[in-house]
Structure 1
Amino acid sequence: MSSNKESDMQNQAARGWRIWLVLVLLALIVAAITSKLFSLYTNEQEFLRSQGDARSLRTMLIPAHRGVISDRNGEPLAVSAPVATIWADPLKSDLQHAGLTRLAQLLEMRPHDLKAELSANRERRFLYLKRQVTPELAEKVEALGVTGIHVDREYKRYYPSGEVSTHLVGFTNVDGEGQEGLELAYNHSLRGEPGRKLVLKDRVGRTIKHIRSLQDADPGDDLQLSIDLRVQYMAYREMKAAVDVHKADSGSAVVLDARTGEVLALVNQPSYNPNERSGLNTSALRNRALTDLFEPGSTTKPFTVAAAMMSGKYTRDSIIDTSPGYIRVSGATIKDHRNYGELSLTGIITKSSNVGVTKLALAMEPDSVRNMLSNVGMGRDSGTGFPGERTGVLPYLNERQRVERATMSYGYGLSTTLLQLAQSYVPLAADGVFRPATLLKQTQPTAGTRVMPPGVAPQILDMMETVIGPTGTGRRAAVEGYRVGGKTGTVHKASGGGYAADKYVSVFAGVVPVSNPRLVIAVMVDNPKGQEYYGGLVAAPIFSRVAGGALRLLNVPPDKWPESSSSRVAMQ
């Protein structure tokens, strides 16, 4: 019995010793694991992160191709070219790498400056070195294999027509986001959506394997404008030359398709090159034809005459006595250049009589002229969607505001943009049907809105043709081979609560050819400083050259033949 007890006690002791041994071993293992975990979490954390980063799968963005902006004939106005961005991870950059000197040369930097910049930003994880470099340069940088130096692919916007169409097209910033013009207005649809792909990178951050595509890049939508680049170039050339000759502060011209309201050309001076914007004068950024307001002056007189005819009180042959060349209205004196005596409505437009349109306006309902101007688009948003476009000012007038009603009849006391002025002449070219101006190519013309009874607008257009005749104020707007109807305007510039005596805005707006209107053109020159400042001497010749060039480019047949040719045809 005693021996059995001793044996049992020995067995229990052995088991207890083995249990304690196992427990001690387990404790040592736990301690070792804990110690290693602590070491990994503290001393080796940065090393493990870098190794994991260097050997992990990464999701990369695939840049989306921005949509092309083109003219109505498909000529590119804004395109995206592939480029690359060189950037650094200063924290990981190897400042002793042999390739840094060559990298600095490729980036057109001094090696010392490159190392100093990386060293000064040592705690950062991202630093641009150079943006929008050529793909060839990017490949050379990648081949160096410098630790911490990376290359991203992207696109750079390029504008083939440069300063000629920049006020319409606008430009993007270095990140490809629209900043001005239609690039800004249609930024969302143009930019598209970037894609994503899964890649494997090596320890220096280079992509070594494409795993799979996660999402394809969705390119931006293309945008086709209404402008004809040929007409745009020609109009720009003429406006630039005219502003230089007359030493003007600025100038603008708008060419519309009379049948659709499409903008075929829109140019401004001064301009700028969107491909090279260093040292850019911000005043050159304005699309003055859509953002700058001015009083349209006598270019509104055809609408006063149209309102008079629509009132039923007058016909084109009605006689208005403008003697003695001035009229007193509520203590204010309104003058003509001289005493024109008795004038028909046609004569009022031919001679641009302030007295004549004042008498017409005061004989009608107080809101007649204002309603007519509103119906043809003045004081209202044109609907082009262009950023910063102004609506102008067209005040409501009551019966007691006789002076204001009088001045509105000849284009003072209201303000408009040049695009609005051009747009207002579309009904005169379309037998009284108003179509809003558009910057986008139209597949078919809009239905339009009738703002004049049939037959009134053609009569007004015939009256406006006399302005270009031998006794009119716009003789220099004539275009050889074509009948032209238009109206001059010479407006004193507002200054200090009144009007400057020696600063003017020269304006001309017209329709061509009169027999079958195809183009509406408006020209404005701000503050010409030469000897000539009248609209008929400054703006009308620009109209003539722009209209003549556009008609030839668009192959519009002539509608005015020399009398000698007509006589020979009749004799035959």
Structure 2
Amino acid sequence: MRRFNTQKQTRKPVNDFAVRRKVLLAFMLGGMALLVGRAFDLQVLNKQFLKQQGDMRHVSEVAVSAYRGMILDRNDEPLAISSPVESAWVNPMELAEVAPSDIKQVEQLLGLSEGKIAKLIIPGSKRQFVYVKRRINPDLAERVKKLSIKGVYFDREFKRYYPAGPISAQLVGFTNIDDVGQEGIELAYESLLKGVTGRKRVIRDGKRQIIADIEAIKAPINGQNIKLSIDERIQYIAYRELQAGVIENQADAGALVLLDAKTGEVLANVNYPSFNPNMPTGTNKGAFRNRGLTDLFEPGSTVKPFVIAAALQGGFIKEGIKIETDGAYRVGRNVVKDIHNYGTMDLTQVLKKSSNVATSKVALTMPPKYFWGFYHRLGFGVSAGLDFPGEANGSLLDYHRWNNFAQATLSFGYGVNTSVLQLARAYTALADDGVLHSVSLLKRDEDTDEKRVFSSKTAKQIRSMLEHVVMQDGTAYLARVDGYRVAGKTGTVRKAGAGGYKEKKYLSVFVGMAPASNPRLVMAVMVDEPKAGKYYGGLVSGPVFSNVMAGALRVLGVAQDQVETMPLLLSNKTVQ
């Protein structure tokens, strides 16, 4: 039998650790060499690259906002100013790492709808900048900043503020969310007001917050201030009284323009209804219209003084002429009518009673070309030259297309379209002894573009006649101003529509000047479609003129030229 050795045979282990150590040591030395080489490459050979990469993460350029220029009245009272605010924005890529509860807290503080910020976090999106709320109060911005939430940042901006609110809204206008002018003076002078944005280099921390300014790259250039001709004190009085007149007469709207009779400066320009330019969003765009400068209408009887002036100036009638009216006057196939048969009238009575018949007869004494030229020189049918957005040009039918009836109707204000501003401007020729003034919304000491349209003698004659319009038996007794002589003319105009002139729908107009002995101010008032029962210009617009003119003369310290005033006597039969 074969015998087996049951004892275990022991084998001597091979000692191979030395080889392993050598391999491991070689790998470690090689890795260290690579690291040293890479460090040498980055810090010595490519040092500039490393610096640029660091700067990209910690140094950046930011815009430096420029102040938008202020809009001031003639006495340096602010009508539009800019105040610093903050605008909140987020980096959606960074917000992905923020807890939903923190995001919700930001939404609540900023008054945002729940989930508005959270919806911006879209997986895979590369968006890094989204505004979430513009122009917020700096105090609120500080509260949000104290939360120190990654991905939520703020930029400095400016918000426009309008101290006068609705009083000067259509004139001054407003800016949009990006501080760009949208209406009025803000739009007209955008290039001067806006300024030029600057840039600077800053250091940011790991949360992208600016911790230090390094250098100014380009200094911001602030916008220019604009000084208007408007007197905010008079503007307030005018708005208050126009508003009261529109509401009392249940009218659709109203517009008023007040001019300096010697310089052509616009001292007041108000419209009603108005809006709040500090919160224009949601406002009916019709409220943005500056009706006094942009809307056209037929001026009615307010042009009659110019017809008389043209005929006197051209020698087509004499000052002492007597005119038969008989209540009606046939012109071709048409008939011109007065509301009463005034019988025989002199020129003063023609204007005092506002006779269409007599004015038509005077107009037809003049050649059409001469008559048209007189209207044209007074500014009818052409822009007043304010360069205001949407400013009306008006219209005046070419005399080659006139017939006798067209010429007759032009004499009492139909067939010509004008704005409240253009009408007031035309009256400066009567107020300043035959000199027609250009108009300006900017403050100036004198009018370098004035021009004479008729003689001083003619202007004074017409002005004297117009004083009788405001007397007790004239058509505008309610337009008188205690302590001052007033000269002016009423207009009651039927509104035109698609199918012709509308029944029982009128524009009530009054244009006048004071003190009549040496006029300082000229004012035109238009009330659109009064519905409370009264519609004659003397009854509706006359009281507005009286109240505003009294306040304006007082504010400017104009000396009185009349001591006695007449008692109030209303007679609807004599008012037109």
Short-chain TM bin: 0.7 to 0.9
TM-fit CA distance, 1:276: 1.7
CA contact (8 A) 1:94 1:146 kept: no
Question: Which deviates more, 287-296 or 196-205?
Answer: 196-205
Report the 3-state secondary structure (helix = DSSP H, G, I; strand = E; otherwise coil) of the residue aligned with 1:214: strand
The residue number in structure 2 matching 1:21 is none
The residue number in structure 2 matching 1:388 is 390
The residue number in structure 1 matching 2:265 is 262
Question: Which deviates more, 398-407 or 78-87?
Answer: 398-407
CA contact (8 A) 1:54 1:202 kept: no
In the aligned structure 1, how far is the partner of 2:275 from the partner of 2:145? 36
The residue number in structure 2 matching 1:163 is 166
Report the 3-state secondary structure (helix = DSSP H, G, I; strand = E; otherwise coil) of the residue aligned with 2:142: helix
Q: Deviations over 1:371-397 (max 9, x none)?
A: 222111111111111000111111112
The residue number in structure 1 matching 2:128 is 125
The residue number in structure 1 matching 2:543 is 541
TM-fit CA distance, 1:327: 0.8
The residue number in structure 1 matching 2:496 is 494
Alignment RMSD, CA only? Answer: 2.4
Pick aligned residue for 1:433 from 432, 435, 448 = 435
Pick aligned residue for 2:252 from 249, 252, 261 = 249
The residue number in structure 1 matching 2:188 is 185
Pick aligned residue for 1:291 from 282, 294, 310 = 294
| Structure 1 residue 519 corresponds to structure 2 residue 521 | yes
TM-fit CA distance, 1:94: 4.2
Letter in structure 1 aligned against 2:462:
I
1:176 to 1:399, Cα distance in 2 relative to 1, 3 A: closer
Question: Which deviates more, 540-549 or 310-319?
Answer: 310-319
Letter in structure 2 aligned against 1:139:
E
Q: Deviations over 1:94-135 (max 9, x none)?
A: 443474344233212466543234348944222111110112
Q: Summarize the alignment of residues 330-349 of structure 1 with structure 2, pairs less than 5 Å apart.
A: 330-349=332-351
The residue number in structure 2 matching 1:306 is 309
TM-fit CA distance, 1:54: 6.2
| Structure 1 residue 316 corresponds to structure 2 residue 287 | no
CA contact (8 A) 2:436 2:451 kept: yes
Report the 3-state secondary structure (helix = DSSP H, G, I; strand = E; otherwise coil) of the residue aligned with 2:395: coil
Report the 3-state secondary structure (helix = DSSP H, G, I; strand = E; otherwise coil) of the residue aligned with 2:533: coil
Report the 3-state secondary structure (helix = DSSP H, G, I; strand = E; otherwise coil) of the residue aligned with 1:144: coil
The residue number in structure 1 matching 2:142 is 139
The residue number in structure 2 matching 1:275 is 278
Report the 3-state secondary structure (helix = DSSP H, G, I; strand = E; otherwise coil) of the residue aligned with 1:212: strand
The residue number in structure 1 matching 2:203 is 200
TM-fit CA distance, 1:412: 0.3
The residue number in structure 1 matching 2:414 is 412
Q: Deviations over 1:116-155 (max 9, x none)?
A: 3434894422211111011222233333332222110010
Q: Deviations over 1:164-183 (max 9, x none)?
A: 00111000001000000000
Letter in structure 1 aligned against 2:74:
R
The residue number in structure 2 matching 1:71 is 73
Report the 3-state secondary structure (helix = DSSP H, G, I; strand = E; otherwise coil) of the residue aligned with 2:505: strand
The residue number in structure 2 matching 1:22 is none
In the aligned structure 2, how far is the partner of 1:556 from the partner of 1:177? 40
CA contact (8 A) 1:51 1:203 kept: no
Report the 3-state secondary structure (helix = DSSP H, G, I; strand = E; otherwise coil) of the residue aligned with 1:165: helix
In the aligned structure 2, how far is the partner of 1:140 from the partner of 1:276? 24
TM-fit CA distance, 1:76: 0.4
Q: Deviations over 1:200-252 (max 9, x none)?
A: 22232111221101111100000011011010000100111111111111101
The runs of 4+ residues in structure 1 deviating greater than 4 Å are: 50-54, 110-113, 119-122
1:311 to 1:144, Cα distance in 2 relative to 1, 3 A: same
Pick aligned residue for 2:510 from 502, 508, 525 = 508
1:511 to 1:400, Cα distance in 2 relative to 1, 3 A: closer
Question: Which deviates more, 207-216 or 59-68?
Answer: 207-216
CA contact (8 A) 1:167 1:286 kept: yes
Q: Summarize the alignment of residues 470-485 of structure 1 with structure 2, pairs less than 5 Å apart.
A: 470-485=472-487
Letter in structure 1 aligned against 2:527:
V
Letter in structure 1 aligned against 2:92:
P
The residue number in structure 1 matching 2:364 is 362
In the aligned structure 2, how far is the partner of 1:505 from the partner of 1:443? 34
The residue number in structure 2 matching 1:45 is none
1:123 to 1:449, Cα distance in 2 relative to 1, 3 A: same
Report the 3-state secondary structure (helix = DSSP H, G, I; strand = E; otherwise coil) of the residue aligned with 1:510: strand
How many residues were matched structurally? 523
In the aligned structure 2, how far is the partner of 1:321 from the partner of 1:497? 34
- In structure 1, runs of 5+ residues without a counterpart are 1-24, 38-47, 565-572
Pick aligned residue for 2:62 from 44, 60, 63 = 60
Q: Summarize the alignment of residues 453-468 of structure 1 with structure 2, pairs less than 5 Å apart.
A: 453-468=455-470
Letter in structure 2 aligned against 1:310:
Q
CA contact (8 A) 2:69 2:81 kept: yes
The residue number in structure 2 matching 1:568 is none
CA contact (8 A) 2:96 2:121 kept: no
Pick aligned residue for 2:533 from 531, 534, 551 = 531
In the aligned structure 2, how far is the partner of 1:362 from the partner of 1:440? 40
In the aligned structure 1, how far is the partner of 2:527 from the partner of 2:445? 33
In the aligned structure 1, how far is the partner of 2:294 from the partner of 2:401? 31
CA contact (8 A) 1:158 1:275 kept: yes
Report the 3-state secondary structure (helix = DSSP H, G, I; strand = E; otherwise coil) of the residue aligned with 2:368: coil
In the aligned structure 2, how far is the partner of 1:511 from the partner of 1:101? 63
The residue number in structure 2 matching 1:13 is none
Q: Deviations over 1:496-545 (max 9, x none)?
A: 33111210000000011101101101000000001100111111111111
Report the 3-state secondary structure (helix = DSSP H, G, I; strand = E; otherwise coil) of the residue aligned with 2:399: coil
In the aligned structure 1, how far is the partner of 2:340 from the partner of 2:109? 73
CA contact (8 A) 2:482 2:565 kept: no
CA contact (8 A) 2:483 2:565 kept: no
TM-fit CA distance, 1:338: 1.4
Report the 3-state secondary structure (helix = DSSP H, G, I; strand = E; otherwise coil) of the residue aligned with 1:476: helix
| TM-score when normalising by structure 1 | 0.87
The residue number in structure 2 matching 1:325 is 327
The residue number in structure 2 matching 1:214 is 217
In the aligned structure 2, how far is the partner of 1:231 from the partner of 1:120? 60
TM-fit CA distance, 1:444: 3.0
Question: Which deviates more, 438-447 or 385-394?
Answer: 438-447
Report the 3-state secondary structure (helix = DSSP H, G, I; strand = E; otherwise coil) of the residue aligned with 1:439: coil
1:220 to 1:294, Cα distance in 2 relative to 1, 3 A: same
TM-fit CA distance, 1:89: 1.3
CA contact (8 A) 1:65 1:220 kept: yes
In the aligned structure 2, how far is the partner of 1:188 from the partner of 1:258? 30
